[in-house]
Amino acid sequence: MSNTLIFGGMAIVSLFVFMNLGKIKASKNQTGRKNRIHRFKETNQKNIIDSSSKEVTKNEE
Amino acid sequence: MSKHSAINRFGRSSNPAFSRNFDQGGFRTQSSSEMDAGSGFRTTSSVVESADIMTLDGAVNKTGVLLALCFTGAAVGWNIPALALPAGILGFILALVTIFRSPSKAGTTAPFYALAQGVMLGGISLMYENLYDGIAIQAIGLTFGILASLLVCYKSGLIKPTENFRLMVGAGIGGIFILYMVSFVMSFFGSGISLLSPTNGSLMSIGLSLGIVCFASLSLVLDFDYIEEGAEKGLPKYMEWYGAFSLMVTLIWLYLEILRLLAKINSRR
């Protein structure tokens, strides 16, 4: 019985920690270091990915 | 011209679910074209819909959903252990489909995977429970305990996954995979590697299980880092499911190894 209580409680507390801490961004200590694993190419650090402009002539309109 | 039409490549990881390159066709952008009244220039831009981007919140919530499904499956497997083997095979097939065929469909396959693997885990847990009373709850507690403590270590920056770290974990998991395969092939000839047997309580066997548990735990750190980086880089939304699925694959492996380790320790009594 005590076995179930101890390990069951441990599982519930751990799940609670995971569900809450998991949603928080990692510390600068973790994300700001230079030797991070870079799996992905840089993408949308900002919302606008790319843009292009061209002059519109009257014919095109 | 667009320089960033999509992410071209997903990186390598020791987790089999992360070890494949993906086509990033699922990365949704919204193009707009509008006339700038002042300058007479037409501008076009691609704006990523923020609702379609992977977030930490989403990945954690989806892991919660998969865990709930796994527990539901485990309850079924516990009561009907005969389903464990077919469910295990189904789960294995679903894992292969998710990893190699359609990672973008992880939202569909991952819940079924979790359910099927849950049924298998329920049956296996009952088998161990019949051998050693109370072993299943110990393994569950230890699995989630390791998950939470490593998450704290990762988030605080105590454990810092680097390329070398990934290489080390990858090499270790590769070695373990070869060991499993050799044992699997030997089982066809009525033999096997006794060190992997749950009833082998020798120190060597326990040490091997402890090592495997360590590698499974460390690969959790790589999963956390993958999800964190994915959310930072704005991967497509379906990667939340894929990240959650990968975490489940590692957690299930870790749970099974802890069960085996505890059985070995109990067999010494």
Residue B18: the pLDDT is 54
- What's the CA gap between B119 and B109, in Å, rounded? 16
Contact across the interface for B40 and A8, Cβ inside 8 Å: no
- What's the CA gap between B63 and A14, in Å, rounded? 14
Contact across the interface for A39 and B226, Cβ inside 8 Å: yes
Residue B17: the pLDDT is 57
CA angle, corner B27, sides to B246 and B14, nearest 5? 25
Residue B28: the pLDDT is 41
Cβ-contact B223, B153 below 8 angstroms:
no
Q: Which helix (H) or strand (E) holds A48?
A: strand A48-55
Residue of A29, A37, A55 lying closest to B225 (CB–CB): A37
| pLDDT tens digits along B170-216 | 999 999 999 999 998 998 888 878 888 888 889 999 999 999 999 99
Q: Which two tokens stand for residue B140?
A: 């569950």
- Using the predicted structure, report yes or no on whether residue B120 has a pLDDT greater than 70: yes
C-alpha distance from residue B119 to each of B153, B158, B249 (Å): 31, 36, 14
First to last CA, chain B: 70
Please give the mean pLDDT across all residues of chain B.
84
- Using the predicted structure, report yes or no on whether residue B86 has a pLDDT greater than 60: yes
Mean pLDDT over A35-61 rounds to: 64
- What's the CA gap between B117 and B125, in Å, rounded? 12
Q: Which two tokens stand for residue B57?
A: 């919140």
Cβ-contact B150, B159 below 8 angstroms:
yes
| pLDDT tens digits along B142-163 | 999 999 999 999 999 999 999 9
C-alpha gyration radius of chain A: 25
- Using the predicted structure, report yes or no on whether residue A12 has a pLDDT greater than 90: yes
| pLDDT tens digits along B3-40 | 444 444 444 445 555 544 444 444 444 444 444 444 44
β pairing state of B41-48 and A48-55: antiparallel
**Among the listed residues B81, B140, B85, B91, the one whose alpha carbon sits nearest the alpha carbon of residue B116:** B91
- Using the predicted structure, report yes or no on whether residue B43 has a pLDDT greater than 90: no
Contact across the interface for B144 and A21, Cβ inside 8 Å: no
Interface residue A55 vs chain B (CB under 8 A)? yes
Residue A19: the pLDDT is 94
Please give the ipTM for the structure prediction: 0.77
| pLDDT tens digits along B49-80 | 556 889 999 999 999 999 999 999 999 999 99
Q: Cβ neighbours of residue B93 under 8 Å, at least 6 residues apart?
A: none
Closest-CA residue of B relative to A56 is B41
Residue B187: the pLDDT is 86
Q: What percent of chain A has pLDDT over 70?
A: 66
Positive or negative: CA dihedral B55, B60, B164, B13 = negative
